[in-house]
Structure 1
Amino acid sequence: MEQLVPAQLTSAGRAALEEDETQVATATRVSLCDRNKKLLHECKEGMLAVTTHHVWWWTPPQPGRNPDEAHAMKLPLQRILKAEAHSSLFRREPRIDLFFASDPSAPLLRFVFRDNKCAEVFERLQTSLARKNWEKPKQVVKRESGFNTQFAGVGGVMRRQQQEREQTANLTTEAFSDLKQLLDSASEIVKLADRFSSAISQNQAKAQAAAAAAAGGSSETVERKQEDDFFALLNDMGIANPATKRACGSRYHEELARELADFLAKHLKRHSATGAIALTDLYCLVNRARGTELISPNDLYQACILMKPLGLNFVLKTFESGVSVLQSISLNDDTVSSRFVELLRDQNDPFTARINAVSVASAFSLSLQLALEQLKTAEKLGYLCRDETAQGVDFYLNLFEHVQIYDEEAPPVPPPVPPSH
């Protein structure tokens, strides 16, 4: 089928959408057929997703396999002439027929559904075809140049700020006034957040330059640290296409697991050097990123359990104390413990250097609870040894493995007897 083009999946096996592309409907157990109901792929069933620009179809990747080996295809909506839905009480398998300009008399492509998502997918497909978002040019942020007397002086600055506030208020009012209008204005909302992010980035650069000139590269102030954190939050400002029970049906926890894997691949790379995050922290981060599509603690836990069977890059781990974390499979306990050893050896005297949960949490961007659990694991593996005092628990390099104890009263060991010939 020449109308279909190869597509890429994310590392977790989800559709890798374009920058301005938004997913509007999904369905499972969908077959891809031609006009003669002949399967176009050896896999009878796959995943279907309708976006603002394409119709996606792919087979779920096998656990432990590379997502690039999965079969993924997408159909640009601009190639579709029209779509028709066929379903009735007597039809066991409803379908959607797609017509193209090359042969408008008969459908060239059919999606056969084995669940109850046909009507919903068809409605969203018709909406995407009517909107024609692919024809809308990408808006480029225009930067004003030159001098304008209207915005000169203190009064000009106040007028500019008032104008920006009015534009922001109008945009948010229009976006949230109607659900359909919200979908149209979603890209504008994202651009508004990007503008805030750019402003913070510029202020951050100016503050760094001023601090370097005044203090010769001194440590960051509290205000700059807060700007850094807020800037990072804006870069991780949300999950664009969250998995929902209504859209995914029986595959909800599986799709949620893949969504979490994609989210963590970006978040942990930036915020955690140990590749681990506590489930309590993950629950807060994910629900913040999903906005109104909140998930329950049980759904999060079930999705985390499925990560290992699905062959994703994270695994659920529970410490002896009962603390549960998600940890990257590329960073096991030995790798994390080695980083603690490097942290001690980087100090002036590694033999007397010590670390604790507070210093590790600060150095590796971890919670205190998770830092303490990973220090205990490093001790159990023989990398560290502890010293419990009234002030708390400190950890040192484990030097006992390099100490040899000799007993002077022990009889000498006789030399080995050479073998007789």
Structure 2
Amino acid sequence: ITMNRFVWSSENLQNDEVVIRQQAGVALYDGERKTPFVGGELVLTSHQVYWTGPEKQRISLHLSLVVLIEEQSGSWSKSAKIVVHVTPPTDEKHVGVFPSSPFDYVRLSFRSGGASEFFQDMQAALQRKDWLKMPTVDSRGKKIRTGIVGIERQIQAKHDEADKNISAAFEDLSKLMEMAKDMVFLSKSISQKLKEKGSSLTDDETIMFKSHLLSLGISDPVTKSAYGSGATYHRELAKQLAEVLEKPVQDSGGILALTDVYCRINRARGLELLSPEDRFKCM
């Protein structure tokens, strides 16, 4: 009843079935009886044991039918073997390689070595019982996709996530620009109140307060949206730059490098950055 536990098999593995070990030069014994299955390759997977012959005939034994295995050491005249004890067939319609057998075990004869390693891996596979486990799923309950299609979908998912992050970043930038406009409006309002209540403030207090406002940057920068992109824009821009750069130029002895001018202007303008070309045209 042993060799009828082996069935003819295809080359395709089952879902989630993984190859563990391969060993060439293996013969199969039906109990103590020799069989025609000699000199083939034995393959252990997480679910089954496959034997493939020289002529590519292939048979398999499912690990769920194995009760226990034993290791038999070899000698100078005998090859090392693994004795595989199996259960009786549960399916009456089951048709094995042989219709029937008087034995309840099969012997795997390793004529090219490798019996001990194969025995250890097979014992571990029997203990794990991977064939009883459900297919691997991710945290959302979907089967993990493999292959090119799965990789492409994963890449697309990453791109979608990046697009969301970029959109969120631009939303934050828009909010920041709105806040900057509010700060400009506040500075204008304070400046206007200073003019209206100039008599109640000393000159020193007025100068100090205005210096604090200037340290925040240009309160109302000249922009193309307000003056266009022609001569008027560059003329107004030149006036504003002259006001902003007057004190730094004086502090530096009347000379200021163009790179310093560019950095100081853009730092003062905040979000309304000035291009090198516009800076050159207005100077």
Query: TM-score, with normalisation over the residues of structure 1?
Result: 0.31
CA radius of gyration, larger in: 2
